[in-house]
Structure formats: structure tokens, C-alpha cells
Amino acid sequence: MAPLLEIEMFNSVPNLAEVTLEPSNYSLQTNEILSVQTVEHITLKPNTAIKGLLVLYILVTGCFVFRFLKNLRHILKLTKQHSGLIEDLKLVPIDGQDEAFSFFNYLFVDTESLEDAIYKSSVVKHEMAHWKQLHTLDVLYTEIILCFFWFNPFVWLYKKAIIQNHEYLADRSVVESGIDTLNYSQAIIHFNSALKGHPFASGFNFNQTKNRLHMLHQSKSSIANRTVKIALALVLSTGVFVFSSFTERKDQLVVVVDAGHGGHDLGTLMEKDVVLKISQLLASKSNSKVKIIETRNSDEFLTLGERAQFINEQQPDLVISLHCNAASDPSKNGVGVIFDRNSKYAEASHKYGKTLLEHQLGALFDKGDIQTGSMVILKNINCPGVLFELGFLSNEGDKAMLLDSDNQEHIAASLYEGLLEIRDEK
């Protein structure tokens, strides 16, 4: 637990015999009793909106998965009805189905429509192209993606583009095989139908008829046209790069993390070791966005004066003094922050402390207090600062949590996320 009141000699060390467990009764070399006031009680509120959206997502995703499995079962059942081969394609007769389509090397078509020689030749070569280029795998992949990302409009656009590109590729393969372009175009127009094939299939009568015909009769781009397109792409990408270079960037947030106690000053139980470990984990996340400086990175004793002097030399934007709490009532638990109500940085300290506290609530804690008090370390720094109580070592649940290495990493990560939010809001 942190020294919670001003003392007569700034750099003196508390006598453990004079320390009680309750933070409101913590005394050092004087008999002065520190008054800590709770100004805000934070509890983890269940986010009903998020839960509602999660339930909606699960329901809709379940419907899409059910649809996917149903369609897959249906088309696999149809493949068992194949009767004969047309080149390398297994023929599956579908009476009354105007639209021919394929699934891997299975061709689904109304056998009566194959009596037209031009149509038969066009369909077979078209669906052979789908089979050889494994377009069915692309369709299955996009359907699976759609099951889980149905809410993303770009997935639907991606699916449409994939299908359209498949048809262009198949059409080009047919024309390159020697079939007359005009006859093939007429076959597309004549047999185009409003009916849709199976969702997993690649179809001959693709509904984007106008686009397909345009692509069939379009001449290849000249070298000049390609050069112009490449030049425009380069200009555009350069413009984007230049624009991004002038984008306003936020300054780095400089934070000093003060791991309380150390050396012969044990704190409460194993407090000095717990706060040091979390301080080290937090400091390891220091980067260009948040620069984290430690007052101590080993088991050493620093007086309050030495800590304050070091902090002020760094000229930080924020100070976080890490401590663990304790109480005579073993049922007390939870996290908390304390700021100096008399400091000129009180408003910023309160705001930052609340942000850090809110990020701690969730996986490990469900409540926390924001308190005010007159702390030596907070009174002598020239920037906003908070004393962060990580939990109660006098509570078995909090103690077990604080001693667990995975939980220590989670606490450090949550503190860092809070610092990122503070930086973004500065």
C-alpha cells in the first residue's frame, strides 16, 4: 500500500508497526489520520446492446449456415442422378430447368435443350472452363465467408464480382476454343433466363448478359491505353501517399509508472514484487504512441523525494503510482484510483484515473472506486497523476488473481489500452 499522507520528513521510511490495513487509517511517523473520500463508484454495467447484437449475429449466422448446409446437401443429392458423360462432364438431367449450370465436373441441364447443336457446344465448353478452372471452389469459399460476414456489404460485392469474373473467364475460354463470337453471343441471348441456378453452381445463363456481351466484343487494350492506366494509378497512389504524409499525428504520450515500495520497504505482503512485475510488463509495451518510463525496474528502495525528483525530470504527461490495497475486512476487493483533490491537475487526474479504472473492469474486476486524498508523491509532481490500487492482497480472490502471471499481463494490457484512449482524447 502506498504512503497515503504527508509526513514531517519527506524522505523518511514508514515504520511497519505503525501501519494499519485500512487505507483510511494509514499512518506513518505522525499520528495524523488521512481522510480518503470516495467521489465515484464504478461498476461493470452489462452492455445489453452488445448482447442483443451478439444474439442477432448468432441467429442470422445460424440461418446462413443452415442454408449453406441445406443447399450443399441438395446439390450433392442431385449429383447421384448423373447419367452418362459429355466430354469430361457428368450429365445430370434436370427436366424443365432452362438454365444450365455446373458443380465441379457435374453438368446440370435440361436434356431437350441439348438438341440445339450450337447451344450444346457452347454450354459444354463454357461449363468445362468452369470445371477446369475450379470455379466451384471459389463459390464455396465465398458462401462460407458470407455465412459469418453477412453483415459486411463488401462481402456481397465480392461474391458478385467473383461470379461475374468466372463468367468472363469461361466466355473467353469458349471463344478461344474456336467458337464464333457472334454465334456464341446469340446463344447467350436466346437461352438467357430469369431463373437462377443452384447457389453453389456456375451457370451458363448468367444474368449480367449485357456485360458479358460487352466483354466478348471488346478489343484488347492497346499499349497506349495500358500505359495511361498505369500512369493514372501511379499518380493516384502517389497522391494518397503524399496526403497521408501530411496527416496530423498526435504527440507521443509520456507516462511515468512508479512501482511502489521496493528493497527493504515490502509494502503489504508481497506488494513490492507484484507492482514491480506489472510495471515491467507495462513498460515493455512502450512505443511511438505511448512512452513508458519506470521509476524502478528492480527490487530497489527509493525515497518519495527521489521518486518525485525523477518524475519531474522526465516531464511526463501522466504519472501512475502502482500499489496493492489491503483491509482488515477480508471480503473487501476491487480496484481503485486516488488523485489529489487539491492539485492544480486534479481535473485531468480524475479524468485519466477514471479512464484507466474503466479499462480494468471486465475480465478480472467488476467494481472500483475513485477517491481523493492528499498523497506525498502526488503533491510533489508537476503533472496529472493517480495512485492506482490494483486489488486487495487481504482478499483471497484478489490475491490469487494478482499473483497469476497471465492476469498480471492482462492488467498491464488493460492499463496500456487506457493510456491509448487518454492519448487519443488529449
pLDDT at residue 340, rounded to an integer: 94
Whether residue 129 contacts residue 87, with contact meaning beta carbons closer than 8 Å, is answered with no
User: What are all long-range contacts of 240-246, with beta carbons under 8 Å and residues at least 24 apart?
Assistant: none
Averaged pLDDT, 269-298: 96
pLDDT at residue 250, rounded to an integer: 76
Is the pLDDT at 408 greater than 60? The verdict is yes
CA R_g for the chain: 35
pLDDT in tens, 303-327: 999 999 999 999 999 999 999 999 9
Q: How far apart are CA 250 and CA 325, in angstroms?
A: 35
pLDDT at residue 37, rounded to an integer: 83
Mean pLDDT lowest among 9-13, 140-144, 176-180, 317-321: 9-13
pLDDT in tens, 92-126: 888 766 677 889 999 888 877 777 777 788 888 88
pLDDT in tens, 285-297: 999 999 999 999 9
Q: How far apart are CA 73 and CA 137, in angstroms?
A: 16
The grid coordinates listed for 161 are 464480382
Mean pLDDT lowest among 260-264, 296-300, 366-370: 366-370
Helix (H, G, I), strand (E, B) or coil at 266: coil
Q: How far apart are CA 76 and CA 82, in angstroms?
A: 11
Model confidence band, residue 26 (pLDDT cutoffs 50, 70, 90)? very low
- The closest of 142, 75, 122 to 102, measured between CA atoms, is 75
Which residues does 34 contact at the CB level (< 8 Å), separation at least 6? 4, 5, 23, 24, 25, 26, 27, 373, 374
Q: How far apart are CA 205 and CA 99, in angstroms?
A: 6
Buried b (16+ CB within 10 A) or exposed e, 74-89: ebeebeeebeeeeeeb
Beta strands, E only, 24-142: 37-43, 85-86, 89-93, 101-103, 106-109
Q: Where are the alpha helices (DSSP H) in 315-403?
A: 346-360, 376-379, 396-403
User: Which is it for strands 385-392 and 318-325: parallel, antiparallel or unpaired?
Assistant: parallel
Is the pLDDT at 128 greater than 50? The verdict is yes
Is the pLDDT at 397 greater than 70? The verdict is yes
To the nearest 10°, report the CA torsion of 63, 66, 72, 73. Answer: -150
